[in-house]
Copies of this chain bind each other. A is one copy, B any other.
Amino acid sequence: MTGDKITLDHGAGGGLSHELITGVVATTLGAVYVGQMEDSATVPVTTGRIAVTTDSFVVDPVFFGNGDIGKVAVAGTVNDLAVSGARPMYLTLAMIIEEGFPIADLVRILTSVRDTARAAGVSIVAGDTKVVHRGQADGIYLNTTGVGVFEPGTPDLNSRSLKPGDRVIVTGHLGDHSVHLLSLREGLGFEKRVLSDCAPLNHVVADVLAACGNGVHCVRDVTRGGLGTVLNELASASTVDLCVDAEALPVRHETKMAAEMLGVDVIYLANEGVLCVVADEASVSTAVEVLRGHPETAHTAVVGTVSAGGGHVRMRDANGRTSPVDLLYGAQLPRLC
Contact = CB atoms under 8 A, between A and B. Distances in A.
B94 A39 contact: no
Contact of A58 (B38, B58, B126, B130): B130
Which secondary structure dominates where chain A touches chain B? mixed
A143 B130 CA distance: 11
Given A8-B331, A45-B50, 20 more contacts: A9-B330, A11-B334, A12-B331, A13-B224, A14-B225, A15-B329, A40-B53, A41-B51, A43-B51, A45-B49, A54-B92, A54-B94, A54-B127, A56-B130, A58-B132, A96-B96, A128-B143, A132-B335, A136-B138, A147-B147
A204 interface: no
A31 interface: no
A125 interface: yes
Interface of A: 7-9, 11-18, 36-46, 48-58, 79-81, 83-84, 86, 90, 92-96, 125-128, 130-133, 135-138, 141, 143, 145-148, 150, 158-159, 220-221, 223-225, 229, 268, 270, 327-335
B56 A50 contact: no
Nearest to A150: B42
Contact of A49 (B12, B43, B51, B130): B43
Contact of A13 (B83, B131, B223): B223
A84 B224 contact: no
Q: Which of A58, A133, A329, A331 has the most CB of B within 10 A?
A: A331
Given A39-B220, A58-B96, A96-B56, A331 B225 contact: no
- The complex is assembled from copies of this chain, and their number is 2
B38 A84 contact: yes
A52 B330 contact: no
A136 to B, nearest CB: 4
Contacts of A56: 94-96, 128, 130, 143
A62 to B, nearest CB: 12
A93 B52 contact: no
Q: Which of A46, A54, A128, A130 has the most CB of B within 10 A?
A: A54
Contacts of A80: 39-40
Contact of A52 (B125, B130, B136, B334): B125
